[in-house]
Chains A and B, each alone.
Chain A
């Protein structure tokens, strides 16, 4: 595993650089946004004197590079800094937001993979026929409905009319796991789009794979249909879907703003929204580190799988 290991090592090193780039970029972007924490803090009372005082109190009068350098130095000691608006440590913000986000992401992915892949394979098997059209239309239809509309629909039917699930997670605080019913509707909304994109990509690859001679060969040799499809044909269809999955997980981990808002789940997306609105740069930067790392790791993982699924690449001339 020599070559592979050095490749991974290099990618991780690059990943560190990338994360640094993400942090820099995010810092630059947030700095470039009009207004700063002081302005945001002042809100509809933008008394210039007051803004100046706040700016001084927050240390925003110091040049940007100095603040960044300070923050980076802190980070090297594992300190994410303190929030400008609340004065509390950023690490706490991240930790609080991460729990719900991780939970939602995990549950969603656990359902997404079997459903998305299963539907994709099923559609590919029946390409051009009724089942395929039904699956494609249904997933595409759900995909094209905006999240908020789907969320509203689910809430009004399953929560308000039938009373099966609570309409929001208000009041459940951090104990979401103890109340699985709370998660049902948000997870359904979260699933709606990725299931479609995953299923469509799997379907596309699977049509080719099912038509390939090696699949016919496995079938001919009496391997049960499901095993032929999932163990022999599917690996050839999976590379793009894996990338898509990585993007989905990334999206889930970086906070799903609409769903969090709709169901009052205080995840990372909400933290980011508020931090950007408050121009609370240390918090935004802290999030950038988390998001940057998540993206790097997920991309690396997806690339490894892609590489594994196309073993000849890298050898070919």
Chain B
């Protein structure tokens, strides 16, 4: 068993794993209102903790393709609207086996319309009323429509399997994950201990402690001072400072965060594709990557999912062309264009990118007025209002990106991209069983987005981790949110 798709022991020369020890990992956290409910989690810290305590049916590999976890295998029917999932033999921390009933309970809990758990949107294709357990360890999922990408659904963020009937998690959460619960102080620390009977092999560590440190400098200082062994989410500048110094190990998880400007395609001035194209041409992506991400990333090509499965990397890299941008704007009758660019300190690099883009746009005669918004309500605010905003996205399959953001009925369609043919292509892809044929369809959709879409994707940021030199086995190719990211059952302290 195991995770076939990703090479876990990535670091060459990490040596043979050593058993024992306590790993302390620092994350930015949610403060005193944190909970251990795996379905409630929103933050990276929540995700990492849930991953240690619980398991999902599947998870994402480094290319964001689903890899089986608790699910041993999955089989669709011919119409792709019924999927049978077989569970592997696994047990919860209290010794009870993981059963089909637990899976259905967990999914129904997530989908509870009253509760509005984050993963509910991901489970939307599943008709949970009709789905049923066909055996102790087999579940038949009935889908509302053909869904070729069903494995993405069961690998989605937050779709953890809890025990049938479980409601409270803060006291004594029981999962099937590689670590068992020891103690939890919201906003401060969570202590876990090795689950010797985990189906994927027992972790090397004896104990795992998650500590909360919201300030980046605190995380790096604690790491440098030997108070922790794993610091999540560091600044590019910090990364550069310590990469060569040698005191600690800097790990860059590539392609973790898409950075973009989102243009609302349904309203002036961006309802005119020429204006959108002009904006594509205004951006000097390298300058943005260097300035806003401090060089820690790669240029984007106005498409989501660089390096992921189905990514259209045959499309030529777009570069700045102010002259052409000017003429396109002129054609569109928007020479002295003034737009407001919404930004906020909600994500690293946002305000920087906005400032840099403002200066770039000025060269094409476009006046960009940067407006700082509240970071707490930013995503909601930019969803419907404004015309241009900073946008970013964590890793997810390209299919999920499309279904959540680019269909007419998508719930978080920040570019207001509503295109009948595009929708049709998507549905077509979902009912296509053949992978190559599906890939071709995704390619067509991406080409359309490349020429006239609303996302000006200018870069992909690295996710930077700091680890102690004696921490081994940390995956280096897993974008944030994928299986091997923040995975502590395969690391060890040398």
Q: Do chains A and B touch in the complex (CB under 8 A)?
A: yes
Query: In angstroms, how far is the closest chain B Cβ from the Cβ of A131?
Result: 36
| Interface: B306 (CB within 8 A) | no
Binds B, one of A13-21, A39-47, A213-221: A39-47
**Which of B34, B217, B377, B383 lies in contact with A262, CB distance below 8 A?**
B217
**Which of B225, B377, B393, B412 lies in contact with A167, CB distance below 8 A?**
B225
CA distance A87 to B34 in the complex (A): 10
In the complex, residue of chain A having the shortest beta-carbon distance to the beta carbon of B382: A46
| Interface: B10 (CB within 8 A) | no
CB within 8 Å for A171 and B228 given contacts A35-B374, A86-B32, A274-B33: yes
CB within 8 Å for A168 and B116 given contacts A43-B42, A43-B379, A88-B186: no
Query: In angstroms, how far is the closest chain A Cβ from the Cβ of B42?
Result: 5
**Which of B30, B121, B381 lies in contact with A45, CB distance below 8 A?**
B121
| Interface: A231 (CB within 8 A) | no
> Chain B residues with Cβ under 8 A from A33's Cβ?
374, 376-377
Instruction: For chain B, residues 341 to 390, give those with C-beta under 8 angstroms from any C-beta of chain A.
Output: 373-377, 379-381, 383
Query: In angstroms, how far is the closest chain A Cβ from the Cβ of B243?
Result: 17
CA distance A57 to B227 in the complex (A): 40
Instruction: For chain A, residues 271 to 309, give those with C-beta under 8 angstroms from any C-beta of chain B.
Output: 271, 273-280, 283
CA distance A191 to B39 in the complex (A): 43
**Which of A51, A168, A278 lies in contact with B218, CB distance below 8 A?**
A168
CA distance A50 to B227 in the complex (A): 39
CB within 8 Å for A34 and B209 given contacts A43-B42, A262-B217, A274-B32: no
A40 with B217: CB separation less than 8 A? no
Binds B, one of A63-71, A122-130, A152-160, A242-250: A152-160
CA distance A263 to B26 in the complex (A): 13
A170 with B211: CB separation less than 8 A? yes
CA distance A217 to B35 in the complex (A): 67
> Chain B residues with Cβ under 8 A from A262's Cβ?
215, 217-218
| Interface: A83 (CB within 8 A) | yes
> Chain B residues with Cβ under 8 A from A275's Cβ?
31-33
B115 with A53: CB separation less than 8 A? yes
**Which of A152, A173, A274 lies in contact with B31, CB distance below 8 A?**
A274
In the complex, residue of chain B having the shortest beta-carbon distance to the beta carbon of A155: B221
> Chain B residues with Cβ under 8 A from A44's Cβ?
379, 393, 412
A57 with B116: CB separation less than 8 A? yes
* Size category of the binding interface on chain B: 35 or more
A 53-88 to B, binary, CB cutoff 8 A, 1 in contact else 0? 110110000000000000000000000000101111
| Interface: A148 (CB within 8 A) | yes
Instruction: For chain A, residues 259 to 274, give those with C-beta under 8 angstroms from any C-beta of chain B.
Output: 261-264, 266, 270-271, 273-274
> Chain B residues with Cβ under 8 A from A160's Cβ?
221, 224-225
A35 with B381: CB separation less than 8 A? yes
In the complex, residue of chain A having the shortest beta-carbon distance to the beta carbon of B183: A173
Query: In angstroms, how far is the closest chain A Cβ from the Cβ of B290?
Result: 24
**Which of A43, A54, A83, A166 lies in contact with B225, CB distance below 8 A?**
A166
Query: In angstroms, how far is the closest chain B Cβ from the Cβ of A180?
Result: 16
CA distance A63 to B271 in the complex (A): 38
| Interface: B487 (CB within 8 A) | no
**Which of B214, B218, B221, B411 lies in contact with A50, CB distance below 8 A?**
B411
B377 with A34: CB separation less than 8 A? yes
| Interface: B431 (CB within 8 A) | no
CA distance A224 to B379 in the complex (A): 68
| Interface: A2 (CB within 8 A) | no
> Chain B residues with Cβ under 8 A from A283's Cβ?
32-33
**Which of A35, A45, A51, A167 lies in contact with B376, CB distance below 8 A?**
A35
A47 with B411: CB separation less than 8 A? yes
> Chain A residues with Cβ under 8 A from B116's Cβ?
49-51, 53-54, 57
CB within 8 Å for A170 and B213 given contacts A266-B187, A283-B33: yes
| Interface: B113 (CB within 8 A) | yes
| Interface: B131 (CB within 8 A) | no
B380 with A264: CB separation less than 8 A? no
B221 with A167: CB separation less than 8 A? yes
B30 with A274: CB separation less than 8 A? yes
| Interface: B24 (CB within 8 A) | yes
Query: In angstroms, how far is the closest chain A Cβ from the Cβ of B452?
Result: 25
> Chain B residues with Cβ under 8 A from A280's Cβ?
33
A 163-196 to B, binary, CB cutoff 8 A, 1 in contact else 0? 0001110110110000000000000000000000
> Chain B residues with Cβ under 8 A from A96's Cβ?
32, 185-187
> Chain B residues with Cβ under 8 A from A276's Cβ?
376
> Chain A residues with Cβ under 8 A from B215's Cβ?
261-262, 264
Query: In angstroms, how far is the closest chain A Cβ from the Cβ of B396?
Result: 11
CB within 8 Å for A170 and B227 given contacts A50-B121, A264-B211, A270-B31: yes
Query: In angstroms, how far is the closest chain B Cβ from the Cβ of A98?
Result: 12
**Which of A54, A56, A171 lies in contact with B211, CB distance below 8 A?**
A171
**Which of A53, A54, A83 lies in contact with B33, CB distance below 8 A?**
A83
In the complex, residue of chain B having the shortest beta-carbon distance to the beta carbon of A86: B33
In the complex, residue of chain B having the shortest beta-carbon distance to the beta carbon of A163: B225
> Chain A residues with Cβ under 8 A from B379's Cβ?
42-46
| Interface: B471 (CB within 8 A) | no
**Which of A39, A50, A148, A167 lies in contact with B222, CB distance below 8 A?**
A167
> Chain A residues with Cβ under 8 A from B380's Cβ?
35, 39, 42, 46, 51
CA distance A249 to B68 in the complex (A): 56
> Chain A residues with Cβ under 8 A from B115's Cβ?
53, 57
| Interface: B401 (CB within 8 A) | no
Instruction: For chain B, residues 122 to 144, give those with C-beta under 8 angstroms from any C-beta of chain A.
Output: none
| Interface: B456 (CB within 8 A) | no
| Interface: A48 (CB within 8 A) | yes
B187 with A274: CB separation less than 8 A? yes
CA distance A46 to B381 in the complex (A): 9
CA distance A88 to B224 in the complex (A): 35
A167 with B224: CB separation less than 8 A? yes
Show 30 residue pairs from A and B whose CB-CB distance is below 8 angstroms, ordered by the A residue: A34-B381, A42-B379, A44-B412, A45-B121, A46-B383, A48-B411, A49-B116, A50-B118, A50-B121, A57-B116, A85-B33, A87-B35, A96-B187, A160-B225, A167-B221, A167-B224, A167-B225, A168-B227, A170-B213, A170-B218, A173-B188, A261-B215, A262-B218, A263-B218, A264-B222, A266-B31, A266-B188, A270-B187, A276-B376, A283-B33
Of all A-B residue pairs in the complex, the 5 with the closest CB atoms, nearest first, are A35-B377, A274-B31, A167-B225, A53-B116, A47-B411
- Besides the known contacts A40-B376, A159-B225, A279-B376, 12 further A-B residue pairs in the complex with CB atoms under 8 A apart: A33-B374, A35-B380, A40-B377, A88-B170, A96-B32, A155-B217, A159-B221, A266-B187, A270-B187, A278-B30, A278-B33, A283-B32
